[in-house]
Amino acid sequence: MIRKLISRVFGGKKAAANHHEPAVIPVSGHGITRDRISSGSRRVCETLQAKGFKAFVVGGAVRDLLIGAEPKDFDVATDATPEEVRAAFRRSRIIGRRFQIVHVMMGQETLEVTTFRGELGADTKKDEHGRVLHDNVFGSQAEDAARRDFTANALYYDPTTEAVIDYHHGVGDLKAKTLRMIGEPRARYREDPVRMLRAVRLAAKLGLIIDPEASKPIREMAGLLENVPAARLFDEMLKLLTSGHSVKCLTQLREAGLHHGLLPLLDVILEQPMGEKFVMLALANTDERIRRGKGTSPGFLFATLLWHEVLAHWEKIKAGGEAKIPALYQAMDTVLDVQGEKLAITRRIAGDIKDIWALQPRFEQRAGKRPYALLEQPRFRAGYDFLVLRAQAGEIDMEMADWWTRFQNVDGDKRAEMLLPEAAGDKKKRRRRKKKPANGDVDRGGDE
Ligand code: ATP
Ligand code: MG
């Protein structure tokens, strides 16, 4: 009570925002009929409402439907507690420790059901820069709306009435193609610096302009990203790079001065003339794949982002007298040690990245049995795609990539014809090995 009173006196604007009446927009005003939402989310809302709770589809899904985009997933917000949600659905489980959410399984769908979050209070735990550490108080729907980041993300859709409930003029902002922060942008960035990245990503993905009030402070506040746990940055970075709009996102990140604290070595990479071309090509390629509904792997993506860093280290280590392949492995480790820690690249992804890098020198060997062995590598496809990018960026000769394109596609006889002559030393070694196990007739035939 006292807290509310104080915030009403001192934080008039925020308190007013939290407690005003929402606009209730009927279907005639927005056109989203209930068949547009997934059957699972509809059933979750209906079941909870039948038990007397409030329940809405919320967030990105409503926003995407309003601008005619296909929602990625449908989240539900409710005033039922996690235990109450859990009790309402047989196939459900509570996840998360600090702020519990419930996963409800409906056929093939898994719905994320969240209990309305409450206002941040004076007792909210924050780090020394003002970043909110614990956020686990339940609240009213109005408070839940005020806790969300952008007005377009604070929309609630009721499948029963087909109304959109709009606390912060989100529908109007969307119509005006504006991404507007709820509350005071600087304060909201301080609470959670990742919102700066979300602003850039959502604006790029949805074709919105970030409201100047929200875009202005980004440059000077970008440094706050350094205090965000690496794992969270990694997740957000991955969302950004796999949004299908990564080139636009990256361009805007640079304009906003945001790539500094984020991918610290990206500055260096982008400033190398070859590096920038390579990264941009790789991202354009990824965007294209995603828009065509093809998958992409985080390993491949990060392998491209860090490749020129590897090249630079590789050169240096070779110049120090190390042999080619050991030098490459050392360079890979150095780059992954530095970036892996900063970005919380998981071990599994780091393994994928290394596989792709380590295959690269093997594409140079186009004689004898080695090309066949390379084709059989489980990571061949990723390694080859990577090789093509390097060629397109002008780092290596296109002739080599073309050779591998043909080598994969032609049949056995033609393949053998494509092989380059072995270097003299190599030839002797390989012949000797080959002779031993092989049956003479077959071997002679194969040598032609
Ligand atoms: P996407 O299309 O990538 O899923 P989204 O807006 O749905 O975008 P989610 O991460 O799925 O993003 O978040 C769901 C909702 O939760 C958002 O629409 C927003 O209302 C709220 N939200 C997410 N992250 C934050 C944040 N950092 N601060 C405040 N609210 C957030
Ligand atoms: Mg979402």
| Residue 75 designated active-site | yes
Residue 30 has pLDDT above 60, yes or no: yes
Is the distance from CB of 85 to CB of 115 less than 8 angstroms? yes
Ligand positioned closest to the Cα atom of 41 = 2
194 CB under 6 A from ligand 1? yes
**Torsion sign across C-alpha atoms 284, 288, 291, 294:** negative
How far is the centre of ligand 2, averaged over its atoms, from the C-alpha of 269 (Å)?
A: 31
pLDDT per position as a tens digit, 372-389: 999 999 999 999 999 999
Position with higher pLDDT, 284 vs 296: 284
Ligand with minimal distance to 196 CA = 1
* Percentage of the chain lying above the pLDDT 90 cut: 60
Candidate of 70, 132, 149, 225 to mutate for ligand 1, largest count of ligand atoms within 8 Å of Cβ: 149
Q: How far apart are CA 177 and CA 43, in angstroms?
A: 31
Residue of the CA atom closest to atom 15 of ligand 1:
59
Sign of CA dihedral 207, 211, 217, 221: negative
**Is residue 5 very low, low, confident or very high in pLDDT (cuts 50, 70, 90)?**
very low
Q: How far apart, in whole angstroms, are the C-alpha atoms of residue 143 and residue 172?
A: 20
Q: How far is the CA of 59 from the centre of ligand 1 (A)?
A: 6
What local confidence, expressed as pLDDT, does residue 13 receive?
42
Q: Could you tell me the pLDDT band of residue 267, with boundaries at 50, 70 and 90?
A: low
Map out the domains of the chain as residue ranges.
1-185
* Ligand 1 centroid from CA 198, angstroms: 8
Atom 14 in ligand 1: which residue has the minimum CA distance?
A: 59
Tell which residue, 344, 330, 340, has the closest CA to residue 306. 340
The larger pLDDT score, comparing residue 73 to residue 255, is at: 73
The residue whose CA is least distant from atom 10 of ligand 1 is: 60
391 closest CA partner among 285, 247, 301: 285
Predicted TM-score (pTM) of this structure = 0.79
Res 379: pLDDT: 93
Give yes or no for residue 192 CB within 6 A of ligand 1.
yes
Task: Give nearest CA residue, ligand 1 atom 22.
Answer: 148
Using a 6 Å cutoff on CB, does residue 60 contact ligand 1?
A: yes
DSSP 227: G
Up-side HSE of residue 191: CA atoms within 13 Å toward CB? 19
Rounded average pLDDT over 120-126: 79
Check residue 95 and give left, alpha or beta (phi > 0: left; psi -120 to 50: alpha).
beta
What is the fold of 1-185? Beta Polymerase; domain 2 (3.30.460)
Q: Return the closest-CA partner of residue 390 out of 327, 308, 325.
A: 308
Query: Nearest residue CA, atom 21 of ligand 1?
Result: 148
pLDDT tens-digit map of 36-57: 999 999 999 999 999 999 999 9
pLDDT in tens, 7-23: 443 333 444 444 579 99
Highest mean pLDDT out of 71-80, 294-303, 342-351 = 71-80
Active-site annotation holder among 64, 75, 173, 352? 75
pLDDT at 398 over 50: yes
List helix spans (H) across 230-272.
230-241, 246-255, 259-262, 264-271
Active site residue 235: no
Mean pLDDT of the chain: 86
Calculate how far, in angstroms, residue 404's C-alpha sits from the geometric centre of ligand 1: 43
> Residue 19: what pLDDT?
56
* Active site (annotated) includes residue 397: no
